[in-house]
Amino acid sequence: MRHTLTLTVNRMRLALRTPAFIFFSLAMPLAFLFIFCGLFGHGRPQAIPYLLASVLALTVMGSFWGLSLQLVTYREMGILRRFRLAPIGAGAMLASSILSNYLLTLPTVVLQFLLARWIFHLPTWGNLTSVLVMVTLGTVTFAALGLIVASVTGTAQETQIINNAFWLVFLFLSGATFPLPLFPSWLQGLALLLPATYLVSGFERALASGTSVFHLGAELLSLSVCAALALIIAQKLFRWDPGQKAPRRARLWAAATIVPFILLGAWEIHSGALMASARANFAPLERQAAPQNLPR
């Protein structure tokens, strides 16, 4: 545990000295805030909670990149081999990735909240406990998913390509950028298979309708299962050495994680609860937006 903390402190320090990290983890989330709230929420404070939910979801999903890329670079450069000579385990290395991600995401989230309040007149804080739970669970989940990509890919360049591919899916299919109710129904079904969708939904419900943690069942279930699986697989796949290959069985394991999401997705498609709440949260925006756009 002590080693995890030492590693966390040092890796955070190193991340903050990297311009690319600052850009992706601080500048980009703030840009999301200003683009979403400034363009779509201008003069409509009631829309801000809904928009802020998307911004927070994107920020948390960003931990997918974060420290996992640092880990790949370290492996590629042989830095991890030096660490391996010391009495620290793979667990401490992975835990420090997730913990640093979390500690670096929290201040950004707080800043986004405050800016939303001051500049865009956020009318309500929503349910802050739910928000905190979603931020925590979301960061762990997406950071761990990033660690899997980090282990499966060989070079930092490969990691970036795979990360981008996933990122695009998360960005456009989760409801974070295009509202879920606007999707054709087959695409809605597909979206319900993604953990990212549950993250967006959790934030929307916590912020726009003040839903308490106890009523975020599907979201919590999806993200916890995803986090647990991702952590186990990341640990199985972890490599210190650039020359080491990930065992094939471990790769199969990684692929097998899809199963619970298909089950949960199927259940959600069947029950329609998540879609109903997405529609309910999106409805006021539509209603409000319509009259403004019509010339009278």
Per-residue DSSP letter, 167:
H
Contacts of 141 (CB under 8 A, 6+ apart): 195, 199, 223, 226, 227, 230
Stretch that binds another protein, among 46-54, 86-94, 152-160, 263-271 (CB under 8 A): 86-94
The 172-201 site mask, x for binding another protein (CB under 8 A), equals ------------------------------
Stretch that binds another protein, among 35-43, 72-80, 151-159, 200-208 (CB under 8 A): 72-80
Our finding on whether 42 is near another protein (CB under 8 A) is no
Stretch that binds another protein, among 9-17, 146-154, 200-208, 266-274 (CB under 8 A): 9-17
- By C-beta, is 17 or 296 nearer to another protein? 17
Q: What angle do CA 27, 7, 163 make, to 5 degrees?
A: 45
Our finding on whether 295 is near another protein (CB under 8 A) is no
For 244, the 3-state DSSP assignment is coil
Question: In the numeric block, which tokens belong to residue 216?
Answer: 């975020």
Stretch that binds another protein, among 83-91, 133-141, 200-208, 228-236 (CB under 8 A): 83-91
Question: In the numeric block, which tokens belong to residue 218?
Answer: 């599907």
Q: Which of 87, 184, 291, 295 binds another protein (CB under 8 A)?
A: 87
Our finding on whether 286 is near another protein (CB under 8 A) is no
Task: Kindly report each contact of residues 218-224 with a partner whose C-beta sits within 8 Å and lies 24 or more positions away, as own/partner.
Answer: 218/264, 218/268, 218/273, 218/274, 219/134, 220/133, 220/137, 221/264, 222/195, 222/198, 222/261, 222/264, 223/134, 223/137, 223/138, 223/141, 223/195, 223/198, 223/199, 224/137
Stretch that binds another protein, among 26-34, 78-86, 127-135, 169-177 (CB under 8 A): 78-86
Our finding on whether 103 is near another protein (CB under 8 A) is no
- By C-beta, is 84 or 121 nearer to another protein? 84
CB 86 → another protein: shortest distance, Å?
4
How many CB atoms sit inside 10 A of residue 164's CB?
12
SS3 content of the chain, % helix, strand, coil (to 5): 80, 0, 20
CB 85 → another protein: shortest distance, Å?
5
Contacts of 230 (CB under 8 A, 6+ apart): 141, 144, 145, 147, 148, 257
Contact 90, 15 (CB under 8 A): no
State the alpha helices, DSSP H only, in 209-272. Answer: 217-237, 248-256, 258-271
Stretch that binds another protein, among 54-62, 70-78, 141-149, 159-167 (CB under 8 A): 70-78
Output the CA torsion 230→216→105→139 (10° steps): 0
Question: What residues between 239 and 268 interact with another protein by CB under 8 A?
Answer: 240-241
Q: Which of 14, 22, 187, 190 binds another protein (CB under 8 A)?
A: 14
- By C-beta, is 7 or 199 nearer to another protein? 7
Say how many residues touch another protein, by CB under 8 A.
Answer: 23
- By C-beta, is 3 or 215 nearer to another protein? 3
Q: Which of 24, 34, 45, 84 binds another protein (CB under 8 A)?
A: 84
- Residues engaged in binding another protein (CB under 8 A): 2-3, 6-7, 10, 13-14, 17-18, 74, 77-79, 81-82, 84-89, 240-241
